[in-house]
Structure 1
Amino acid sequence: MCAARKRIPVDESAGKEVVSAQLQAAYGWVKESYSLAREKYEEALSIKPDFYEGLLALGQQQFEMAKLHWSFALANKIDLSNWDSVETLKLFDSAEEKMKAATEMWEKLEEQEANELKDPSASKKDEMLRRRKKLGSNGEITPEEAAEQAAVMRSQIHLFWGNMLFERSQVECKLGMDGWKNKLDAAVERFGLAGASDADISMVLKNHCSNGDAAEGDDKKVQNSNTDNVNGADKSESRHET
């Protein structure tokens, strides 16, 4: 996933045919890398179905694939009025479905662990500590520390979800579809829940394609599908890598 998300340079000073060939090769390489990442995440989930971090990562993979399709369409200067957006929108749907399922899975686990920390039963506490060690946590943890970790994770989930909604609203806005404004409003709400400042949210909104001068920014994003407003999600993704 990390390798696929890195920028792949295309020499725009070369001839049109050369640039087209470079773009196609870059697209094919990134698409294959994302597909391999999906296979690994699915293998992880087949071993441990309640591995919420693997499900979050799979949602990220679907999100990145959707952005890749969109970026490739823009880079090729395809007539969007005739562009088939079905697969791209399905990827956005899949990403959000996995995000929702992973969040519910995580919330249940957090509630269970919070109850176990309050339970005086040594056996339950030991069981909870063993589970945390398997997930990478070390040593004893207090209820306060657990609550702080949960707050950080919740913030990252809201940020990631907001990014997905924002990017989809961009796509739907450019395609002239109804409903893009609702998704943008939902994204802003998620950013607020994640703890983003009003200034940061305003800056992101200025880059939305609904502002007429944002079209140029869309072309720039083709060169790197990891846009500035998803930097926060990188921090979350780092917890999911295996």
Structure 2
Amino acid sequence: MKNSLKPKYDMRLLFSCFFLVSFLNVFSQQETKPKIEPIVKIDSLYREDQFYTTITYNLFSNIPADLKQNKFSLGISAGFLRDMPINKNRTFAIAAGLGLSYQNFFQNLTISKDGSGASVYQVNDYNEFVSNRYRQYLVDVPIEFRWRNSTFDSYKFWRVYLGVKLSYAFATKSVLDDGETTYKISNDSNINQFQYGPYLSAGYNTWNLYIYYGLNPLFKSVKTLSGENLDIRTINAGLIFYIL
């Protein structure tokens, strides 16, 4: 009798174990795995190294009597600035860079040659010549103090940059057409090749206002035929674009 009941109990025990294992397996499959969030590393050492481009309207200041400009005197420059933050939040920085500039001036200050080949400077009425222009090409070294409210993950921010630009005019050219003769004077020795002055750029994101004022005269000790000293300074006013 006892021997006949033993197989039944063994079968029940076997089914019980199978049911328990199946239940635990289903339960384990329904458990939700914890979501793994990616670790975001904050770049606390970011810099605003930038390429820049300026488009300006060029002006003369400290001009002699009757000197006027006509047409649009265009200026274009481009270069790169290396950013060096000086505070923990990196909102203040010093930057230095290297660039090239092209400046064009349309005006009635004419440069011609006399019989001996010397340069002659004169302010003429516009009806006395057909066209007159002066242009120069420069290597620029900008150095600036920067404030901005940028962050490591934002390229859109307010900025105010105050700097000094040191420039070397490696090529200059004046072209005068008086209706009879065309005078082309390249690399006039009376032009100050070394030029410098302060500038300011301010704005938001890509679009920024820009203004530069030349501290030293464009010409060396030069006088016009009427005896006026040419103490002309240059002004560049327009827009500057920063590209990261």
Which has the larger strand fraction?
A: 2
Asked if TM exceeds 0.5, the reply is no
- Please report the TM-score for the alignment, with normalisation by the length of structure 1: 0.23
Asked which structure has the greater CA Rg, the reply is 2
- Please report the TM-score for the alignment, with normalisation by the length of structure 2: 0.23
